């Protein structure tokens, strides 16, 4: 496998021994937030592909490219079923033209991008076909998709850039996912809660996506600021528990019965809308009920703590094999980026 580099050896590097990037739940303010991340020394900016609640990820990345000069840019993660592979290949090629050498792409099966629309994630077989086709298009090859041959037909007036150099990462889940990631990409992109799986540790490039908040001096875990900053990350414990374990898994959590009581008010055919509303941006009605009923005590499952505690946990992730941590702020974005950069000793 190869290791990509979109900036100098020290840019975005923490004394904790890994690269430090930022992730964003995509909004129209995200290009400015990415400019701030570059100013603070973050290595890369990854944008979520959640069209049910966000502007188009490629459009937003293009706007960010025009505001920045050094920070890496990429969708993290693209959901194959949302677009034809030619559309994503064209988007990646165009972004590479706007930000040469700064582009990376990650793919996932669609936990939120699919479930928030009432659909199941795509199969690993579909993912394999899709990413293989996407990479073939970027190399300028003629590939087959849905029974027809196609190739990127860019002319000299509108060249593709150098898309064959764009690294691809796979959001791998379980043994089957990590096995496929070995053959498809340059590494794995993990949505992390409790560390790195044994299967992921074998990769040369391990990107760990997390969220939370650096506490202020003497700040209580039930503070209103923390509700806004770390609450959206904490809410994912309830969303994931419900999606993967059902009602019983949710009720076992502090605040779980209160969360479930709100969700069950929505008819089953539209319940996924109630679960995922505000995904990683803000607490929805059910999330707020859970937080108020004691769910805030689970905030330790996010990357939340004092500056020293956050640094200790980041160092532990590096020891587990993480090569790049990507941190998603919420609430006061500048404050959260500045606090996290300070906690991990990010070099500008």
- Residue 10: the pLDDT is 56
CA 203 centroid distance within chain: 18
- Residue 9: the pLDDT is 40
- Residue 313: the pLDDT is 94
- Residue 347: the pLDDT is 67
Task: Give the span between the Cα atoms of 219 and 164, in whole angstroms.
Answer: 48
Give the global pTM: 0.92
- Residue 110: the pLDDT is 75
Per-residue pLDDT of the chain (348 residues; tens, 9 = 90+): 333 333 334 578 888 889 999 999 999 999 999 999 999 999 999 999 998 889 999 999 999 999 999 999 999 999 999 999 999 999 999 999 999 999 999 999 877 667 777 777 789 899 999 999 999 999 999 999 999 999 999 888 777 777 778 999 999 877 888 888 888 889 999 887 666 777 777 898 999 999 999 999 999 988 999 999 999 999 999 998 998 899 999 999 999 999 999 999 999 999 999 998 988 899 999 999 999 999 999 998 999 999 999 999 999 999 999 999 999 999 999 999 999 999 999 866
- Residue 194: the pLDDT is 65
CATH superfamily of the 19-215+306-343 domain: Luciferase-like domain (3.20.20.30)
Task: Give the span between the Cα atoms of 62 and 77, in whole angstroms.
Answer: 16
């Amino acid at each position: 496998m190869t290791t990509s580099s979109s900036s100098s050896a020290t840019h975005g590097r923490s004394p904790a021994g890994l690269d430090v990037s930022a992730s964003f739940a995509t909004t129209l303010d995200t290009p400015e937030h990415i400019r701030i991340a570059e100013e603070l020394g973050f290595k890369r900016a990854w944008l979520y592909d959640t069209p049910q609640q966000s502007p188009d990820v490629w459009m937003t990345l293009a706007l960010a490219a025009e505001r920045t000069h050094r920070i890496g840019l990429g969708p993290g993660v693209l959901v194959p079923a949302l677009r034809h592979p030619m559309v994503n290949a064209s988007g990646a090629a165009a972004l590479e033209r706007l930000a040469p050498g700064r582009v990376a792409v990650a793919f996932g099966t669609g936990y939120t991008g699919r479930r928030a629309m009432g659909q199941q994630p795509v199969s690993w077989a579909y993912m394999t076909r899709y990413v293989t086709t996407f990479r073939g298009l970027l190399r300028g090859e003629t590939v087959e998709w849905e029974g027809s041959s196609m190739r990127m037909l860019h002319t000299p007036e509108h060249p593709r850039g150098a898309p064959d150099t764009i690294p691809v990462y796979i959001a791998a889940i379980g043994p089957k996912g990590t096995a496929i990631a070995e053959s498809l990409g340059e590494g794995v992109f993990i949505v992390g809660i409790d560390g790195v799986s044994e299967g992921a540790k074998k990769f040369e490039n391990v990107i760990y996506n997390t969220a939370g908040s650096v506490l202020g001096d003497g700040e209580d875990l039930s503070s209103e600021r923390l509700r806004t900053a770390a609450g959206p990350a904490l809410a994912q414990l309830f969303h994931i528990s419900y999606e993967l374990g059902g009602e019983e898994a949710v009720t076992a959590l502090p605040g779980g019965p209160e969360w479930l009581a709100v969700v069950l008010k929505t008819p089953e055919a539209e319940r996924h809308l109630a679960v995922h509303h505000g995904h990683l941006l803000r607490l929805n009605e059910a999330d707020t009920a859970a937080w108020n009923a004691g769910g805030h005590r689970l905030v330790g499952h996010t990357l939340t703590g004092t500056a020293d505690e956050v640094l200790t946990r980041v160092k532990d992730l590096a020891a587990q094999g993480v090569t790049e941590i990507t941190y998603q702020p919420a609430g006061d974005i500048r404050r959260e980026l500045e606090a996290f950069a300070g906690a991990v000793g990010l070099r500008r």
